[in-house]
């Protein structure tokens, strides 16, 4: 169904990946020379997780280039911000730099991506907020990048692919989460992998569509990792946001986790209450894709199984092809839940959006 | 006091088919009657060669009694599952098991790297199941274990065993080298379909790849959780790689991965197939239709929602004719048929779940 | 309610437990530092026999990576799924609101007093100069 009222917060929107020529404006001489001499500047840095020409990667009607005299930002406004009445949209650039093994090089590109996001997008569109792209494989670099950008309050989260160099709850990552908590940034995991490992526990599937479907299982294991390692205990104000994860698989996660915890909690005794309660309190999920039948009845029951109206955050996942026309909301959402998802839940999840709302309020 | 809904009359009223019982050798010597002199010697001098850092123990140590029911250790020694009398006394009799499907994980060659040793072990474990278990206990049926990473030999073993009615299915581990839909495994499916044997997927303790797509877990709780996600991945693989298009008679039972995830995974598959179907033109129908037709689900470890009434809703979506009851005896997460079903069922649903679906799938009489 | 004499008190040393049959019912007795408790020998979750479980303490933590064991001997872990129950109350540690093991009243009484009856002693004679564990069923 169409979005019934204006003022939504779109929590997962993708901005186009900039060319290296654009990014090199934000780099020093050493790296510019490296990229030119090694012809890295001519590489497209496409991630295997997001082949750009597949039907899933971009909706057909959004594939046309910007019109005559139209800037990329104008196109974004026309296609994604205006039609869905977004008051705020959190933009991300999932640049292929995160697939490199050279951590210093990757970190330089990530910094350039973040600077480009701030200068070329956030500076020009007050509705946009940003995600800080960081290197999960190099927590040191990630912390430095967070500290560098923390003062820019328009960045509201960091973003990592759900499958990286190690499961994201592991203690190597804790300095990153400490920095996020300190600065009021949420931690967003987005569908995608740097393919350090096969995307399934049984090895490499043949087809892109299998890899894409496997993302939901990666989110399951990432959440279990956060819980078991005790990230939520160590960082009591931290929120985990799962972007483009799907959410209809949540009932099994909640039920299975509670059952397992009762038999295994001695191994991780810091996990001192039912894990489903912790998930409901600390983990949030972007709305799209809605992996449910179109008629809405089963989705309604699934939401009852999930047992909370606070977990979902409105998202268009623009420009990925997750819905047709203006139907950014699935059938089967009760009216009060629509309001929660679009208006109330995002600021409750993002400390920086909550703070803004307070400043605006008289 | 809020006691669970216990129906102690289940076992009296209705013999059950338990689709997951694990027999274990007391030691490798139990297999010696079925191994050649060469492999007997190999087992003593060289031993197993598997794909994990710890050769003979779990790299994720279990929480209770090495992952077994603590009461299942035979009094005179040997591991749980190695004593038929105890199995009868402790499980088959009190649980009212009419037929028990053996899943022989131990030393069956599914994890062995040496291909010839794997083949010899699988053959020996199949002999052992037949002579030391099924011939001694008429309630039991065997599952053909195979050297799954060497499909030609696996297919030969399947064809040979299919002549003996004690073998009702073929057992594969989803912790394979490649996802089970990949073509390297198709000779196994060709043989199973040709012989009319169901394919039973059951997790092994060790695998060839990290147990999650994001790397190795730290704790056993995570590793145990990943049993479920790996089963999901293999179901996706078998559907999308076209196994059911190529082998329209193949039937698959997913064992020890629960079942509440099935509807959501079907919705996800259908949805993304609809956008990406040009990549997989060999699929002629939505993925969920193949699953509805070809796949059965064993119940254990049964999910335990806060509201038990949510489970039958999910079963309505899956189809009551597709669930198989299983206990996982003698492992720690055993589901006792007298306790584990905490929701109301009609008499027909009860018969389907505890007995009739398995009878029909495995051709039990 | 009938009072059943189920064991001589000195049969159960502190920290030990014992399975007894009372009127056809399996009951586990626990001696917790000289105090006796009795639970039905069936885990209310999955039916595991408590007599085969592990008497242990409570794993607690002040944060990730920090471990301690407290209240040693006060909990029984089920031999199946490892759920923990407080021996004193039968209460499940993880699911205290809705799962509780069936508990029975226990007393230690001197043979003298028991001689006045009424009680049922199923398997042994009561002597007047010893203490006995008495369970009400």
Could you say which of B1, B63, B338 has the minimum Cβ distance to residue C47? Answer: B338
Q: Which residue has the tokens 């839909």?
A: B181
Which architecture, in CATH terms, is B10-362?
Answer: Alpha-Beta Barrel (3.20)
* Residue of chain C minimizing CA distance to A229: C64
Side-chain-side CA neighbours of residue B97 (13 Å): 28
- What are the backbone dihedrals phi and psi of residue B246, each rounded to the nearest 5 degrees, phi first? -75, -35
> pLDDT value at position B181?
98
Q: Are A167 and B216 in contact (CB under 8 A)?
A: yes
Reported confidence tier of residue B206, pLDDT bands at 50, 70, 90: confident
Question: Mean pLDDT for chain B?
Answer: 95
Q: Are C133 and C12 in contact (CB under 8 A)?
A: yes
% of chain B exceeding 90 in pLDDT: 92
Reported confidence tier of residue C28, pLDDT bands at 50, 70, 90: very high
3-class secondary-structure state, position A296:
coil
Residues 6+ apart with CB under 8 A from C26: C19, C20, C40, C41, C42, C49, C51
Reported confidence tier of residue C48, pLDDT bands at 50, 70, 90: very high
Side-chain-side CA neighbours of residue A349 (13 Å): 34
> pLDDT value at position B353?
97
Average confidence (pLDDT) over B128-142: 98
Reported confidence tier of residue B192, pLDDT bands at 50, 70, 90: very high
What ipTM was predicted for this assembly? 0.97
- Pick from B53-62, B247-256, C121-130: least confident: C121-130
Reported confidence tier of residue C117, pLDDT bands at 50, 70, 90: confident
Spell out the SS3 assignment of chain C: CCEEEEEEHHHCCCCCEEEEEECCEEEEEEEECCEEEEEECCCCCCCCCHHHCEEEEEEEEEECCEEEEEEEEEEEECCCCCCEEECCCCEECCCCCCCECCEEEEEEEEHHHHHCCCCEECCCCCCCCCEEEEEEC
Angstrom distance (rounded) from CA A151 to CA A239: 19
Model pLDDT for residues A249-265, shown as the tens digit of each residue: 999 999 999 999 999 99
Angstrom distance (rounded) from CA B180 to CA B119: 19
Q: How far is CA B331 from CA A13, B7, B327, B334, in A?
A: 46, 23, 9, 6
**pLDDT exceeds cutoff 80 at A272:** yes
> pLDDT value at position B365?
79
> pLDDT value at position B3?
41
Average confidence (pLDDT) over B202-208: 89
Could you say which of C59, C65, C66 has the minimum Cβ distance to residue A266? Answer: C59
The CATH code for residues A8-360 is 3.20.20.140
CA distance from start to end of chain B: 42
- Whether A270 and C83 lie within 8 Å, measured CB to CB: no
% of chain A exceeding 70 in pLDDT: 99
CB of A38 within 8 Å of a chain B CB? The answer is no
> pLDDT value at position B153?
97
Angstrom distance (rounded) from CA C86 to CA C76: 7
Task: Specify which residues C29 forms β-bridges with.
Answer: C18, C38
Could you say which of B212, B264, B276 has the minimum Cβ distance to residue A218? Answer: B212
Q: Are A5 and A85 in contact (CB under 8 A)?
A: yes
Q: What is the CATH number of the domain that holds C15?
A: 2.102.10.10
Could you tell me the residue range of the domain that residue C47 belongs to? 3-60+67-136
- Pick from A227-236, B232-241, C113-122: least confident: C113-122
Model pLDDT for residues A282-311, shown as the tens digit of each residue: 999 999 999 999 889 999 999 999 999 999
- Pick from A188-192, A322-326, B207-211, C126-130: least confident: C126-130
Reported confidence tier of residue C122, pLDDT bands at 50, 70, 90: low
> pLDDT value at position A361?
67
Model pLDDT for residues B83-98, shown as the tens digit of each residue: 999 999 999 999 999 9
* Residue of chain A minimizing CA distance to C61: A270
List residues in chain C touching B: CB distance below 8 A.
Answer: 44-49, 52-54, 77, 79-82, 98-100, 102
Average confidence (pLDDT) over A235-243: 98
Average confidence (pLDDT) over C54-76: 97
Question: Mean pLDDT for chain A?
Answer: 96
Question: Measured in whole angstroms, how far is the alpha carbon of residue A23 from the centre of its chain?
Answer: 21
| Domain parsing of chain A, residue ranges | 8-360
Q: How far is CA A128 from CA A77, A122, A352, A355, B5, in A?
A: 10, 6, 13, 16, 53
> pLDDT value at position C123?
67
Query: B125: left (phi > 0), else alpha (psi -120 to 50), else beta?
Result: alpha
| Domain parsing of chain B, residue ranges | 10-362
**pLDDT exceeds cutoff 90 at C23:** no
Task: Specify which residues C32 forms β-bridges with.
Answer: C35
Measured between beta carbons, the chain C residues lying within 8 angstroms of B5 are: none
């Amino acid at each position: 169904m169409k979005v019934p009222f204006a003022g939504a917060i779109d929590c997962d929107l993708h901005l186009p990946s900039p060319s290296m020529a654009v990014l090199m404006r934000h780099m020093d001489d050493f790296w510019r020379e490296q990229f030119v001499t090694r012809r890295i500047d001519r590489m497209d840095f496409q991630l295997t997780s997001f082949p750009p020409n597949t039907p899933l990667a971009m909706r057909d009607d959004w594939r046309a280039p910007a019109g005559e005299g139209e800037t990329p930002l104008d196109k974004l406004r026309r296609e994604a911000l205006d039609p869905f009445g977004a008051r705020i949209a959190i933009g991300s650039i999932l640049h292929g730099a995160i697939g490199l093994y050279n951590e210093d090089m990757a970190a330089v590109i990530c910094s350039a991506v973040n600077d480009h996001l701030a200068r070329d997008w956030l500076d020009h569109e007050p509705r946009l907020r940003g995600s800080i792209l960081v290197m999960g494989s190099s927590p040191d670099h990630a912390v430095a990048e967070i500290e560098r950008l923390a003062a820019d309050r328009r960045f509201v989260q960091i973003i990592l692919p759900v499958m990286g160099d190690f499961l994201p709850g592991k203690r190597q990552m804790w300095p990153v989460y400490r920095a996020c908590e300190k600065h009021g940034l949420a931690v967003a995991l987005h569908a995608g992998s740097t393919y350090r490992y096969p995307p399934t526990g049984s090895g490499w599937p043949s087809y892109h569509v299998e890899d894409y479907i496997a993302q939901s299982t990666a989110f399951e294991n990432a959440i279990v990792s956060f819980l078991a390692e005790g990230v939520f205990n160590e960082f009591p104000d931290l929120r985990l946001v799962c972007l483009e994860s799907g959410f209809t698989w949540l009932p099994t996660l909640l039920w299975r986790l509670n059952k397992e915890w009762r038999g295994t909690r001695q191994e991780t005794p810091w996990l001192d209450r039912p894990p489903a309660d912790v998930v409901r309190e600390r983990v949030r999920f972007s709305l799209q894709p809605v992996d449910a039948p179109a008629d809405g009845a089963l989705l309604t029951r699934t939401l009852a199984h999930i047992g909370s109206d606070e977990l979902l955050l409105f998202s268009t996942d623009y420009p990925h092809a997750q819905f047709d026309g203006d139907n950014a909301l699935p059938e089967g959402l009760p009216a009060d839940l629509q309001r929660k998802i679009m208006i109330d839940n995002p600021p409750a999840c993002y400390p920086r959006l909550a703070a803004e709302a307070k400043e605006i309020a008289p | 006091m809020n006691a669970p809904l216990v129906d102690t009359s289940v076992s009296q009223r209705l013999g059950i088919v338990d689709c997951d019982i694990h027999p274990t050798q007391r030691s490798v010597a139990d297999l010696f009657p079925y191994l050649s002199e060469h492999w007997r010697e190999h087992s003593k001098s060289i031993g197993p060669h598997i794909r994990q850092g710890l050769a003979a123990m779990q790299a994720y140590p279990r929480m209770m009694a090495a992952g077994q029911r603590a009461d299942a250790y035979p009094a005179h020694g040997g591991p749980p599952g190695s004593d038929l009398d105890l199995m009868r006394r402790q499980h088959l009799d009190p649980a009212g098991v009419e037929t028990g499907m053996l899943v022989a994980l131990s030393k069956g060659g599914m994890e062995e790297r040496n291909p010839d040793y794997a083949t010899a072990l699988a053959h020996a474990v199949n002999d052992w199941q037949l002579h030391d278990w099924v011939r001694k206990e008429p309630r039991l049926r065997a599952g053909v274990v195979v050297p799954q990473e060497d499909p030609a030999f696996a297919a030969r073993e399947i064809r040979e065993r299919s002549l003996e009615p004690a073998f009702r299915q073929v057992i594969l581990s989803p912790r394979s080298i490649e996802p089970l839909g990949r073509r390297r495994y198709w000779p196994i499916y060709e043989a199973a379909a040709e012989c009319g044997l169901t394919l039973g997927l059951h997790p092994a303790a060790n695998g060839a790849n990290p147990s999650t797509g994001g790397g190795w877990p730290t704790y056993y709780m995570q590793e145990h959780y990943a049993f479920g996600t790996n089963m999901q991945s293999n179901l996706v693989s078998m559907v999308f790689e076209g196994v059911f298009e190529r082998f329209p008679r193949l039937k698959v039972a997913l064992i020890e991965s629960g079942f509440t995830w099935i509807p959501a995974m079907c919705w996800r598959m259908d949805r993304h197939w609809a956008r990406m179907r040009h990549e997989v033109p060999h699929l002629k129908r939505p993925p969920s239709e193949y699953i509805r037709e070809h796949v059965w689900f064993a119940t254990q470890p049964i999910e335990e929602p806060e509201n038990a009434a949510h489970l039958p809703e999910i079963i309505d979506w899956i189809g009551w004719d597709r669930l198989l009851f299983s206990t996982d005896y003698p492992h720690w997460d055993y589901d006792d048929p007298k306790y584990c079903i905490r929701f109301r069922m009609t008499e027909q649903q009860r018969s389907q779940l505890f007995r009739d679906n398995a009878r029909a799938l495995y051709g039990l009489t | 309610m009938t009072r059943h004499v189920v064991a001589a008190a000195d049969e159960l040393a502190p920290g030990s437990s014992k399975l007894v049959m009372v009127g056809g019912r399996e009951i586990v007795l626990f001696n917790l530092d000289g105090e006796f408790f009795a639970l039905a020998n069936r885990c209310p979750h999955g039916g595991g026999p408590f007599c085969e479980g592990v008497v242990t303490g409570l794993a607690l933590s002040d944060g990730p990576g920090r471990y301690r064991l407290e209240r040693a001997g006060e909990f029984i872990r089920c031999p199946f799924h490892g759920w923990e129950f407080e021996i004193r109350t039968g209460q499940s540690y993880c699911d205290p609101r809705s799962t509780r093991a069936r508990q029975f009243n226990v007393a230690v009484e001197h043979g003298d007093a028991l001689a006045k009856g009424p009680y049922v002693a199923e398997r042994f004679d009561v002597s007047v100069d010893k203490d006995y564990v008495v369970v009400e069923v």
